[in-house]
Chain A
């Protein structure tokens, strides 16, 4: 285990927001300023810890396989790793660590949460109540940050589930007109998936012998041990069943077609910040689960499933895009575009190659930033015009030029314009389908590649259509005399870091690929990718 501060830093990333939550709950409801300040400070502190980990990781070049292996050989653990007994009776440990997969996601999660707090500063949706709203954001952050560093299945499950209730309340209390339906739908869909995921975890625990040298079955919930263990003793049918249970849980969260129906409702009804967090982080819990747990622990079953996952992914790409074109509500359109974008991510994962999975992780981060931004803008448009109906909007570039330009920028990024972050998630994912991992049907995946490529054209179609409707043309008559505000200071503060990252990652994608590549290579070497 790591020692000193390094042993605490990951725990701090996860639980500093919880400390903030405790303080917020003690503060009187009327003292809004103090509540906001405490929330901001605790999320910033959590981000600072996450950045410390990132900086240490990069400056010590742990992203190079040799550096990392020599560190492990020397110390017997990865940097920042902590492994303590937690629930002894079920053999579950408090085991947290980062790797090239979890680290960028953890930083993204801490980063986006801070921006959400800043954006909320003067933007609290009805029925206001900043205390409850910010308390829920803090609780959400605990679950989100925790999921990306958990190395124990039970710990992962707990964090994975913690996000449910806060998001349920966020949609249900602060959401749009149809919020009650959307919130319960979100909750029940996810709970259904995670019930099966938990059964899958238990089956992994009981079926896999993590130490063949010791007599008898050695059970463990440790992700690393389960990944390394020999699974040849488990029949193919059982492996498929277990993977199916895991995949159901993750696929609902992603969400993959046909489990996606909760997403447009939840996104549309959620308050702006809720949509941003949903899009930027919560959906990634599912794809991360595939990469971190599903594929490495049961690679053989994953290979049997991969063509089907790929099929659902490309259906999602096309279906999401067509869904977008049928929307009349700006926010619902962006929500459907998430289905399409997550389809690209899943296609990358389904190829089971290091190229594809790298692309998937890049796609996760890029989608988090870009779609998060689009939801921010949709929220601000709603705030200014009190509508998101595409037919009523228009001329944003005239009335609020800055916001209009930002919308244009994000639409370009989202459709995968080279030079912006979205490109590096989509293009390599499509490319990777040309040459999937050995053992996967090449023709099938090449067909998927073609369909996905067509999907990018559709993406350009619906995004430009939205841009045209919202930003171009003359302002509509009803808003002619309305006093329209352009981007406010809080909005600039929240948006600028995201916009800069979209450019930075677009121009120099190696920033991220470098971080993930060695971890992905290690991962795929486990299943001959």
Chain B
């Protein structure tokens, strides 16, 4: 083992840890609730952590730490960058919400950044234990964050529900991982992939054990990414949690679960055609179909916009699972090109979904400042009172619906592409079901648009001033949604770099 420690590779995490400590110290020096500096420390820390991510990317060398348990490659860096940017946007969303809401500020940012620390670790994790530790580091702070409005019973319910489900899913996942470890004798993903492919190691008697283990682990992740039928906590938790936290949960935390799935599938159980016998992809295909259908049908009848976005995020999660299934199908056919593009598709979808969903939540927060309501009815006549807000919200919703030339079309496109490319009855059925679902989804997204544009504004409604930080986050997301939509090469290129060496 190389005794020298690669400080550069670990620099983003070190910056984050220092920021977290600085937040705690700042709270000691300036105790109380009005410590406004904490948000600045947090945002500066997040941006500072982006610097080593960029220098590492410029360096371009794959770094392997801890005997391969922790890898810093393009894939890890792209996702770390995504997590940090998403967190920065979340902080922009939170500043005024948390500042004005009589909350303990430094604790909020402390928990938020701890969760992000787990995400950056997750992007690099290449062994089961590291993945598990990273996942818990992501999850535990978010249990507290979901219940952060501690005088509000709905928020308490959100926190407790999220916590119990989280604990259950972790237990299932760990149980499943132990089976896999028992059968293969290793926790390293690449070694698991090799040994699964080797019939002399994983003999036919052990196969059943591995299959059960993989199945249990998948169920654990299904809880984390709120896939049907393990989705039902999401709407309650999303509605009860403070809205910026909901935005964070639906984007960054969900992405954390997806990254873990990506790593386990692409480096482990689905690393090669020979290791691909567990039929994990059939489970994924079922989760994909049920999640998008159930999520969309559930969203249709929602009257609260946050609950609607919760169901929408279940459905979008289903869309993101489609390329996983496509990958499994393609791998069974020995078609590695398809495997590459399926992998790209998941990464592209995560990035695009992050930008457009954060944008939508930013507008939800901005509107709620005036109306103090999350009901879709409170968006009536927004086009008359705040036309700019209505236009950007329309853009985010249209992007979520996948209407070109907004970023969402490219995400949907790559998803369709992977399913069609996988071809065969499974691939085509997935594509057709996803196609029908994207039409259903358009209905409820446009329902909000209808409210904003077609309904008259209530008497005396006036535009409320939007604070600078919130405006900045909306502007950033708008630029992102438009730029990526018109020139998808921006994210496509990232996804392309990421996949070098996969498959």
Residues in chain A within 8 A of chain B (CB atoms): 86-90, 132, 154, 157-158, 161-162, 164-165, 168-169, 172-173, 179-180, 183-184, 187-188, 191-192, 195-196, 198-199, 202-203, 206
Given contacts A172-B453, A191-B438, contact A165 B405 (CB under 8 A): no
Complex interface: chain B residues within 8 A of A183 (CB): 450, 454
Stretch of B49-57, B240-248, B414-422 with 4 or more beta carbons under 8 angstroms from chain A: B414-422
With beta carbons under 8 angstroms apart, the residue of A162, A168, A187, A195 that contacts B404 is A162
A179 to B431, CA, bound (A): 32
Contact between chains at A199 and B435 (CB < 8 Å): yes
Q: Give me 25 A-to-B residue pairs in the complex whose CB atoms sit less than 8 angstroms apart, sorted by A's number.
A: A86-B487, A87-B410, A87-B489, A89-B492, A90-B413, A157-B404, A162-B404, A164-B403, A168-B446, A173-B383, A173-B453, A180-B450, A183-B450, A184-B443, A184-B450, A191-B401, A191-B438, A191-B442, A195-B435, A198-B413, A199-B432, A202-B416, A203-B420, A206-B420, A206-B423
Closest A-B pairs by Cβ, 10 of them:
A89-B492, A195-B435, A202-B420, A158-B404, A161-B404, A192-B439, A172-B454, A87-B488, A87-B489, A191-B439
- List residues of chain B with CB within 8 A of the CB of A164: 403
Instruction: Determine whether B361 belongs to the interface, using a CB cutoff of 8 Å to chain A.
Output: no
Q: Are A161 and B450 in contact (CB under 8 A)?
A: no
Taking the nearest CB of chain A, how far is it from the CB of B140, in angstroms?
A: 37
Say yes or no: B454 contacts A173, CB within 8 Å: yes
Q: Is the interface of A mostly helix, strand, loop or mixed?
A: helix
Knowing A195-B435, A198-B413, A203-B420, say if A188 contacts B454 (CB, 8 Å): no
Q: Looking at A158, A187, A198, which has the most chain B CB atoms within 10 Å of its CB?
A: A198
Residues B436 and A195 in contact, CB atoms below 8 Å apart: yes
* Bound Cα distance from A162 to B454, whole angstroms: 20
Asked if residues B453 and A188 are in contact (CB atoms below 8 Å), the reply is no
B493 within 8 A of A: yes
When A and B form their complex, what is the total count of cross-chain residue pairs whose Cβ atoms lie within 8 Å?
Answer: 89
Residues of A within 8 A of B431 (CB): 199, 202
List B residues at the A interface (Cβ < 8 Å). Answer: 344, 383, 387, 394, 398, 401, 403-405, 409-410, 413-414, 416-417, 420-421, 423, 431-432, 435-436, 438-439, 442-443, 446, 450, 453-454, 487-489, 492-493, 495-496
Q: B416, B432, B439: which has the most chain A beta carbons within 10 Å?
A: B439
CA distance A158 to B410 in the complex (A): 10
Q: Say how far A262's CB is from chain B's closest CB, in angstroms.
A: 13
- Our pick among B387, B403, B438, B489 for the contact of A88 (Cβ within 8 Å) is B489
Distance between A334 CB and nearest chain B CB, rounded to angstroms = 24
Q: Is the CB of A89 within 8 A of B495?
A: yes
Tell me the minimal C-beta distance from A170 to chain B in angstroms: 11
Contacts of A184 in B (CB 8 A): 443, 446, 450
Option from A88, A169, A191, A199 in Cβ contact (under 8 Å) with B492: A88
Residues in B with CB closer than 8 Å to A165 are 394, 398, 403
Q: How far is the CA of A184 from the CA of B442 in the complex (A)?
A: 9
Known: A161-B403, A169-B453, A199-B432. A90 touches B438 (CB 8 A): no
Instruction: Tell whether, in the assembled complex, residue B438 and residue A202 are in contact, meaning their CB atoms are under 8 Å apart.
Output: no
CB distance from B421 to the nearest CB of A (A): 5
Does A89 contact B436, Cβ atoms closer than 8 Å?
no
A188 touches B413 (CB 8 A): no
Interfacial chain A residues near B450, Cβ < 8 Å: 172, 180, 183-184
Chain B residues with Cβ below 8 Å from A192 are: 436, 439
Which chain A residues border B438 with CB–CB below 8 Å?
191, 195
Query: Are A187 and B446 in contact (CB-based, < 8 A)?
Result: yes
B413 and A187 within 8 A (CB): no
Complex CA–CA separation, A169 to B397 (angstroms): 14
Complex interface: chain A residues within 8 A of B488 (CB): 87, 89-90
A173 to B383, CA, bound (A): 10
Min CB distance A234 to B, Å, is 12
Of the residues A88, A161, A206, contact of B409 by C-beta under 8 Å? A161
CA distance A180 to B450 in the complex (A): 8
The smallest beta-carbon distance between A453 and chain B, in angstroms, is 38
Of B417, B446, B493, the residue contacting A202 (CB under 8 A) is B417
Given contacts A86-B489, A88-B489, A202-B421, 19 further A-B contacts (CB under 8 A): A86-B487, A88-B493, A90-B414, A132-B383, A157-B404, A161-B403, A162-B404, A165-B398, A165-B403, A173-B454, A180-B450, A188-B442, A191-B403, A195-B436, A196-B435, A198-B416, A199-B420, A199-B431, A203-B420
- Residues of chain B contacted by A89 (CB below 8 angstroms): 344, 488-489, 492-493, 495-496
- Alpha-carbon separation in the docked complex, A173 to B453 (Å): 7
- Contacting pair A206 B442 (CB below 8 A): no
Contacts of B410 in A (CB 8 A): 87
B458 smallest CB distance to A (angstroms): 16
A158 touches B409 (CB 8 A): yes
What's the Cα separation between A191 and B432 when bound, in Å?
13
| B394 nearest in chain A by CB position | A165
